[in-house]
Structure 1
Amino acid sequence: MKTYWRSIEELANPKELRREEVREEAKQKSMLMKGDKDLNSASRRDFLKTFGFSIAAASIVASCKRPIDKAIPYLVKPDEVNPGTANYYASSYFEGNEYGSIIVKVRDGRPIKIEGNALSSISQGGTSARIQASVLNLYDDARFKVPSKSGSEITWEKADEEIMAQLSILKSQGGKVVLLSSTIISPSTREIIRKFAEKQTNTEWIQYDPVSASGILEANKKSFGSAFIPDYRFKQAKVVVSFGADFLGTWLSTVEYTKDYTSARQLQNGGKEMLRHYQFESGMTLSGSNADVRFPIKPSEEGAIVLALYNAVAKAKGGQILSGAQSSVDITELAKDLLENEKQSIVISGSNDVNIQLLVNGINQLLGNYGQTIGLENHLLTKQGIDQDTDRLLSDLKAGNVKALLVWNANPVYDHPKGKEFAEAIKKTGLSVSFSERPDETTALCQYVLPESNLLESWNDLEPKSGIFSLVQPVIAPIFNSRQVQSTLLKWIGADLNYRDYIKSFWKENQFLKQKNTSDFRQFWNTSLQNGIFETVQETKLSYSPEGLSQAASQIKPAVAGLEVAIYESIAIGNGKLANNPWLQELPDPVAKISWDNFAAVPVAYATENGLKNEDVVLVNGMELPVFVQPGQAKDTISVALGYGRQIAGKVGDKTGSNLYPFVGIENGTRQYFMTSAKVEKVPGKVFELAISQTHYSMEGREIVRETSLDEYIKNPVSGNEKEAEDKAKSVTLYDAPVYNGHHWGMAVDLNSCTGCGNCAIACQAENNVQVIGKEQVRNRRIMHWIRIDRYYSENPENPKVSFQPVMCQHCGNAPCENVCPVAATPHSEEGLNQMAYNRCVGTKYCVNNCPYKVRRFNWFQYVKNEKFDFASNSDLGRMVLNPDVTVRSRGVVEKCSMCVQRIQEKKQLAKLEGRAIADGEIKTACSQSCPGNAIVFGDLENPESRISKLFQDKRNYHLLGELHTLPSVGYLTKVRNTNA
């Protein structure tokens, strides 16, 4: 049997680690026996950080005293509104350069859940953890509530009057005005900005991305004559080679790429081919952990390896060999695999170096990938910022050439390498205006703050890819006195038109003319609004030119000696804009399984040589960071996440982690997200506690993850899953076989399709009112997520294989938890669901102890009784996100996955009213509906024609701990590794 391990400590001495875990568990129980003393010792700040606006605040208050709800009936009820019945509205999400076409669930006027729009060719019904958690941003009490000037409240009319007057003076004097924004993908907004610049002459518009794709844009401008990001079609590829691009985690269009990537690796319905994936990277990323072949490299090695690959392909194709730095990495077999799959491969790089991107373009051209697996028609538009433009702006600000700075959804004081210089320059600017929705480091320095409305309160249109459009519509009236920036700019140019009407007019003049399905604009508009998307067919006239290729090769530098620091985006909070979202802060990193902090991930060998262990503290170029020993971290490298260290974000995000943006380098006009020749030294005797969740539970050496190779699978589809037949043959029980009344609800998880992204955990949290508990309680093993993603390593710790496994309540037919409950609080339904009667549970936790899967959560604390904490800051706002279909749990009860029983009941009632049977796939749990990898399937096992029944008959299907004969209703499909690579 293959050995799997969760941490270096477990690999080195599993018995000792288990003893430590038992001692820790006993310590926690002892503390609880003495009362909530550990809670009393927590700081007021930590409490407010965690519970400032999270749903935990709502459940705390609800558990203490039931509030009085006043229901005021409609005088004239809108036709589409039925109290107690959800409405769904198509809309779009775009934040932090991440796009998703979405469906918003609204209950009684409150947006409470976000799903993916299956009609979109980009998101294809999937979401990410960040998109799922974005509904909570609407109810963030840290949002600006009124416009202000120099920190004092001001009316919109007065602010408009004063700013327009100053702009008029600047226009007459020829004073330069700069609008600094994040990437804008709204075609109507771009037109409004153009009109504003026409009226306010001497205006410059600069787009800025904290984690930029400037290198790709500028390389493509040289190669194709146009600065664009191509359309990567992973679904059509047989071989993918990635150089540091975490395309499954944070790079460009991750939901789209995950959908296509996993569909090209599924082996259902007789499939016997899988996309092969090679990954070169420094830190262990989500993409690297899913790769078939992974090469740990230093960031400075990448250029020479890309050049070597180019020359190997060029040599085979009879092309020109380019001179440049030499690489010690053997890429012979990789080049051979690419050449055998011409026009069916993709080579990508996450580097922001123009020279590397030019070489990548050359490789794809030699392999014939353009027009095949890499489309040139639908350009990705979510990152348009050019680094040199922002650097030039800083120079102009410092020189006093910019008289007015308008900042929209950009925060360079925090996330630009020269943020301190931006701060000083903004202070000296004559007129500074921020349109920010919430406080940030840049807004704090601006004279005027004109708060922008939240996405869910707004109208907008988006064009994430050229020719692919989507609409944004408000699903709630503005909660605070905010206003959309587009409305502000329209007012400032004297246009007497609200933004909604402007969009309609713009679409009538533009998008309406691109279709031939209807001649009635009203019908076209209503259909587009209802569907959320409108897609057109694009043509391209772009052609590749090798211009600059030889020069690019000559600029490639050899690898640098010494320690290097790779700087990357966090899976959870991205570039830092979402730092004040507690759902995302508590989401464990998919690989490290750490929440609430960033850290210095160090290689196993480096840790051994330097006497480092988890939670030690090191100085990295003078910045203190906690140590985490990360298997797979490349030799002589350290990885640290961006997005942390916010100083002005809100109760959750303030001073959480360390800010690495000042360490981002600038070379040849583009930002480089790594440091060479880093100086690292240990801080003697100092310890920084990390909230690590993966080691909370142990599987006691049992066969949990099952896997095989593609070669073996083709020979024998049962390969790797032989034990399932053994378990069934040995099954002996004293219990009668369970009988199901009409339905038997179950779930199947394809381990080939689960990338470990964590989206399902946040989707479940939003759907089921799962509490945020904070860093200290995560450390105390009390994390409340109903679904966890277990991560296991195997083989060489310097470059291990990684397996992900989502684990939720298995809804066992012979559930061990049911027999031991003294008050029958965990009964079994006739439809196969293991239920929880919260008002019956008295908190004995016998069920928790008896569950072999460790999926039951006990709600430890009722924080409201602790008078040390100030609850004045906990308003009714946070409670608005709660799903009224799911009970808010109070202290002292056990909770766990219910397979979204509220959704099951809703569809059953609908089918009954309509006099029909429930269709297969009609009911979707929160996790299965939103999964970007299509890894989770829910359905009725009593229906032999259902998709889940067929998956359960798949020879790869097995049950977790099947030897215990618990008869789980959840099945897993054995992971198949592509060893053809």
Structure 2
Amino acid sequence: MKKHWKSLAERKNGSDTPEKLSLPKGNLEQILDIFDNGNEKSQSNRRDFLKLCGYSLAISTVLASCENSVQKAIPYLIKPEEITPGKANYYASSYVNGSEYCSILIKTREGRPIKIEGNDLSSVTYGGTSARVQASILGLYDTSRYKNPLKGDTKISWDELDQDIIQQLNQLEGNKESAVLLTPTIYSPSTKAVIEMFLKSYPNVKWVQYDNRSASALIKSNEMCFGKAGICDYRFDYADVIVSFDADFLGNWLMPVEHIRQYTKKRKLSDGNTNMSRHIQFESRLSLTGSNADYRIPVKPSEQAMLIAQLYNEILKLKGLDSYSISDATDDIQELAKELWANKGKSLVVAGENDLNIQVLINAINYELENYGTTLRIDKQILTKQAIDSDMEQLLSDLNSGRIKALFSYDVNPVYDYFKGEEFGKAIEKVPFSVSLNAAPSETSGYFKYVAPDNHFIESWNDLEPKTSRYSLMQPGIRPLFNTRQFQSTLLAWSGQETDYLKFIKNYWEEKLYPLQTTYPNFISFWNNSLQKGVFEPQTKSVFDTRFSMAGIGELMAEIASTPKSSGFELQVYESSAMGDGKMANNPWIQELPDPVTKICWDNYLTISPKQAEEMLLETGDVVELNSGMKLPVYILPGQAYNTLAVALGYGRTECGVVGKNVGVNVSKLSQFKNDSRIDFSIGVEIRLTEEKYELAMTQTHHSMEGRAIVREASLGEYLKDPAAGNESHHKYENAGIYKKPNFPNHHWGLVVDLNSCVGCGACSIACQAENNVPVVGKNEVIRAHEMSWIRIDRYFSGSDFNPDVSYQPVMCQHCDNAPCENVCPVAATTHSSEGLNQMAYNRCIGTRYCGNNCPYKVRRFNWFNFTNADSIPNNLHDVAEMTIDLKRMVLNPDVTVRAKGVIEKCSMCVQRIQEGKLNAKIEGRKVNDGEIKTACQQACPSGAIIFGDLNDNDSQIVKETSSQRNYHLLEEIHTLPSVSYLTKIRNKKTNEL
């Protein structure tokens, strides 16, 4: 059997389980201190409470008071028509965070948003979400947001602010002095119309768009090659062969929620399907996308341009065309060219580096392979990134020269995330008049003289066009919690227009979009239907001639051929699939979500290859200093290319609230500018070992399974010969016990996880956290193996540490029908239901943890502290006296018990959703339909890897999956009879790659 390992230490020594050392060292008093939330000795514990409970969340009365605050229950005298107490309402809306987009449903209870779901009516995201989409609900209740308009540090009214701003704008226009409106990419049609109206009112204002992770080279390459600027619509679900050069399309590249659904659709082997796409990845660090590839080749970032040029050359040779004079291609490239040529029109080649030369060559390769019109379309475009990097460089130059007399900044933070951020901050100080329209304080907004705070997106109206002719609406789930105002309404006010932005959107849609359909006879019915669905996707025909311009290809190839090889280290900066660009650094759910590959949270770090670490005598946790002066802890990452380093962006925030402040190191300045674009790697990097050590919070090694057959896998060739390949013990031990197998007369709820579809993104973990009120514990408690997440995603390596295969496996409570936890509980707190669920009676649990010790899957969590008790928060929080509502508790799901200190908790398979589905079916006098009830993890999953249903329903999808020869249970040999099962992972490898 193939050996899997979780860390280099386990591979070498056979064990790496800090769980055995989870208790602190010291005397009895120190051990007992962990139960005392208020102990002054435990400074780290107090800091954790600031992070997990504090979150800048104030409480309703001054906490210094000795008396309990008065709890008032106010009944509905006149009940709002749309609200039924105890029943959730859903509002179709859209998630937007810079270039991130998702069509969503906002779940509200008694008028407060508590959960975000995916909108399955969207043909862009198909009901999928990401971890950041799920966690964004917490940002609504972040009281570090601006609460009022500001002039300097003084609160002012909106009327005062509008009067000052309009006066300044008129004065600037009268003096013909230049001003700039700086925004991220705007892909809202109505917002663009508002901005155009604003620019028409003040012709001296110039609009500049800035994407901190731009696709500038992609946009310009398509303009050069096809005469049409923009980003192609990529269709991974149409490709039989996918080749990626450092494009992390499952993690953060362009539209990962859509890409994950497309990618996994082509790799599912259910319902008799035997076709599966093949994915080859070239990259330096082991990314989320690379870890899912069938064949991965570690290369330095600087080597990619030559490899792409060689691939293009080989394809030209196969096509019988003249090739260019460059170095001979490697065997890998020659074989890859043949494989792509054999799949013309059914392949897709992408590159992630923001380099114009690389993107032009990628276009040329796809053109020669006849992929345009099938796996990618230039006439259908992704619109979420439109900024050009050179515009930002020009803006910085203009600011420094003094030509810009006013700067308006909306939803961007260049002082933090621009590679010349410090210089940008100094340039803003030179501007006589400046206004920030951000929703929350940032490193940039502190430089501005006025603040006109924007709403949170859940408090806002808007419309979006993330892709050509794919529209969606954003509607609020709650009125603004603070004295804030939408950016669009603010611009309308300054333009002398009516500030009702909803009315503006409706007028725009009536004029521009209503004529695109023929289904609805009047605009009111069209608008109401679109608002209810959340999306409007008209059938539009577009024909674009994809004739390719070959001009300049020869010079480009010559330039690549003449580029000397780099020596020494190359350092790459990247976005982690958890943290992203750092906008959500103040969100504790995101901070505590482990990186899928390294399984580290609450920090960024410098990854290095095992071979390099061995040569330099480095260990994980050693602190090194770069020649740029930065200090970072080292993490030894299997699969990292030799002579390369990598570090994640999004950390090192200094102005964002108490959770994310000073967590990690800001490495934005390590990017460079090349060919008018910002690129992500630098050469000539040197590192120096210091005497310091740094402890990283890693979760992967907390729950060892001691080398047993947990992940099962096979190659596609083996699977086609034998559908049970890699799973020879398929349900072999199902009837091996001495006890009679239990019978469930009505429902028998179960879950199946398709390991071939799971990419390890973590959306399920955050969705479970939001749905089930799972607390955050803080870095120090994670280090001690006290994390509380009900779903962990185990990451396993196999093969060599130079280039290992990677497997992901979500593990939650297995809901065993012969549960070993149940018969050891002295107070019967854990019991089995008549529908096959392992249940917890929290008010009965006394915290013996016998059940956790007896659980072979290690999926039970113990509440060491009273994480959800607001009285544990120190009373020196911001604006305590002003707050009249306990925002922290507004995000809690009232259908789920909030657990106290000293009890065990675990996955309930979202029993509250099961009960709701059963009651709805009972009211309507019918049976529960298959697929009607979805667990939170299932609903959030962008890949559709999780199937939930009734194992007693022979026509259900889950029964079909459990009948598959790929289906197996974890640790079947101990006869726990789990209700959760898995489908083996199949890799599309060739024989010489095994």
Give the TM-score normalised by the residue count of structure 2. 0.95
One-letter amino acid of the structure 1 residue matched with residue 209 of structure 2: Q
Residues 1:678 and 1:68: Cα distance change in structure 2 (over 3 Å): same
1:499 corresponds to which of 498, 501, 507: 501
Shift of 1:728: 3.4
Q: 2:544 aligns with which of 525, 541, 544?
A: 541
> Aligned pair 1:913/2:893, yes or no?
no
1:724 corresponds to:
730
1:814-854 Cα offsets, whole Å, 9 max, x none, are 00000000000001000000000000000000000000000
Which residue, 33, 36, 44 being the options, matches 1:35?
33
**CA offset at residue 246 of structure 1?**
0.3
Letter in 2 for 1:759: A
**Inter-partner Cα distance in structure 2 for 1:282 and 1:841:** 49
- For the residues of structure 1 that align with 2:124 and 2:191, how far apart are their CA atoms? 21
Q: Deviations over 1:25-82 (max 9, x none)?
A: 5859978743328974334444323322389999xx9xx9997543333443232211
The 1:21–1:920 alpha-carbon spacing in structure 2 relative to 1, beyond 3 Å, is: closer
1:861 shift after superposition: 1.0
Q: State how far apart, in whole Å, the 1-side matches of 2:216 and 2:260 are.
A: 23
Q: Distance in 2 between matches of 1:801 and 1:439?
A: 42
Local SS of the residue matching 1:835: strand
Q: 1:831 to 1:366 in 2, by over 3 A?
A: same
Distance in 2 between residues matched to 1:679 and 1:84, nearest whole Å = 60
Partner of 1:692: 698
Alignment match, 2:783 = 779
Secondary structure, counterpart of 1:174 in structure 2: coil
Equivalent positions of 1:78-117 (< 5 A) are: 78-117=80-119
In the alignment, which residue of structure 2 is the partner of 1:583? Answer: 589
| Alignment match, 1:420 | 422
Matches within 5 A, 1:417-816: 417-536=419-538, 537-543=540-546, 544-556=548-560, 557-621=563-627, 622-684=629-691, 686-728=692-734, 731-733=736-738, 735-816=739-820
My pick for the range that moved more, 822-831 or 694-703, is: 694-703
Establish whether residue 13 from structure 1 lines up as the match of residue 18 from structure 2: no
What displacement does 1:329 show? 6.7
Q: Deviations over 1:538-594 (max 9, x none)?
A: 414242322332232233234311101111001112111111110000000000000
Q: How does 1:38-57 map to 2 (within 5 A)?
A: 40-43=41-44, 44-53=46-55
Report the Cα distance in structure 2 between the residues aligned to 1:548 and 1:785, rounded to whole angstroms: 53
Pick closer, same or farther for the CA change 1:66–1:465 going to 2, 3 Å: farther
Q: 1:412 to 1:327 in 2, by over 3 A?
A: farther
Q: Give yes or no for the alignment of 1:969 onto 2:979.
A: yes
CA distance in 2, matches of 1:203, 1:295: 48
Asked if the contact 2:572/2:680 (under 8 Å) is kept, the reply is yes
Unaligned runs of 5+ in 2: none
Contact 1:242-1:279 within 8 A present in 2 as well: yes
Aligned partner of residue 747 in structure 1, secondary structure: strand
Greater displacement, 875-884 / 116-125: 875-884
Going from structure 1 to structure 2, the CA distance change for 1:811 and 1:640 (only over 3 Å counts) comes to: same
Comparing 432-441 with 531-540, greater Cα deviation is found at 531-540
Distance 2:4 2:579 in 1: 29
Following superposition, the deviation at residue 872 of structure 1 comes to: 4.8
The count of aligned residue pairs is 972
- CA deviation vs aligned residue, 1:702-721 (integer Å, no higher than 9, x gap): 11000011101100101110
Letter in 1 for 2:684: S
Aligned residue in 2 for 1:188: 190
Q: Distance in 1 between matches of 2:635 and 2:511?
A: 56
Deviations, residues 406-455 of structure 1 (Å, cap 9, x unaligned): 00011111111111111111011011100000010110000000100000
Distance 1:5 1:441 in 2: 41
Distance 1:658 1:326 in 2: 41
Any idea what SS the aligned residue of 2:777 has?
Answer: coil
1:128: which partner in 2?
130
Determine the C-alpha separation between the residues in 2 that align with 1:32 and 1:561. Answer: 51
1:706/1:720 contact within 8 Å kept: yes
Q: Tell me: CA distance 1:866–1:147, structure 2 relative to 1, closer, same or farther (3 Å).
A: closer
Q: Secondary structure at the match of 2:122?
A: coil
Q: Answer whether contact 1:563 1:678 (CA < 8 A) is retained.
A: yes
2:843 to 836, 839, 843: 839
Q: 2:169 and 2:769 mapped to 1: Cα distance? A: 47
1:600-642 Cα shifts (integer Å, max 9, x gaps): 0110001111111111101122210011110000110011000
Amino acid aligned to 2:153: G
Flag the 1:33–1:442 CA change in 2: closer, same or farther, 3 A.
Answer: closer
SS in 2 for 1:22: helix
Q: Does 1:395 align with 2:400?
A: no
**CA displacement 1:332-364 (0-9 Å, x = unmatched):** 111111001000011000010001000000000
For 1:783-824, what per-residue CA distance to the aligned partner results, in whole angstroms no more than 9, with x for missing partners?
000000000000010100000000000000000000000000
Write the distance in 1 (CA, Å) between the matches of 2:940 and 2:57: 20
SS of structure 1 residue aligned to 2:532: helix
1:496 CA displacement? 2.2
Residues 723-782 of structure 1: CA distance to partner in whole angstroms, max 9, x if unpaired?
2343236x122x232121300000000000000000000000000000000000000100
3-state secondary structure, aligned to 2:733: helix
Amino acid of the structure 2 residue aligned with 1:894:
I
3-state SS in 2 of match to 1:891: coil
Query: Which SS does the other structure have where 2:613 is aligned?
Result: helix
Instruction: Check conservation: 2:579, 2:590, Cα contact below 8 A.
Output: yes
Partners of 1:41 and 1:784 in 2: CA distance: 20
1:304–1:558: 8 Å Cα contact kept in structure 2?
no
Identify the residue that residue 137 of structure 1 maps to in structure 2. 139
Q: Which 5+ residue runs of structure 1 have no aligned equivalent?
A: none
Identity of aligned residues (%): 53
Query: Would the alpha carbon gap of residues 185 and 960 (structure 1) be closer, same or farther in structure 2, given more than 3 Å must change?
Result: same
Structure 2 vs 1, CA of residues 465 and 65 (structure 1 numbering), >3 Å: closer, same or farther? farther
Counterpart pick for 1:948 among 943, 958, 963? 958
Q: 1:307 to 1:867 in 2, by over 3 A?
A: closer
SS in structure 2 opposite 1:721? coil
Q: Which amino acid aligns with 2:652?
A: G
Q: Give, in angstroms, the shift of residue 497 of structure 1.
A: 4.5
The aligned residue for residue 281 of structure 2 is 279
Distance in 2 between the 1:871 and 1:839 partners? Answer: 32
Deviations 1:69-126 (A, max 9, x none): 4333344323221111100010001113111000110000000000110000111000
2:198 pairs with 1:200? no
Deviation digits for residues 900-937 of structure 1, max 9, x if unmatched?
00000011111111111000000000001110110000
Query: Taking structure 1 as reference, are residues 725 and 109 closer, same or farther at Cα in structure 2, changes over 3 Å only?
Result: closer
Q: Is the 8 A contact 2:59 2:886 kept in 1?
A: no
Aligned AA for 1:889? Answer: R
Equivalent-residue separation in structure 2 for 1:914 and 1:450 (angstroms): 50
In the aligned structure 2, how far is the partner of 1:717 from the partner of 1:55?
53
Residue aligned with 2:838, SS: coil
Counterpart Cα distance in 2 of 1:68 and 1:555: 74
How big is the shift at 1:185?
0.6
Aligned ranges for residues 46-85 of structure 1 at < 5 Å? 46-53=48-55, 69-85=71-87
Q: Which residue of 1 aligns with 2:938?
A: 928
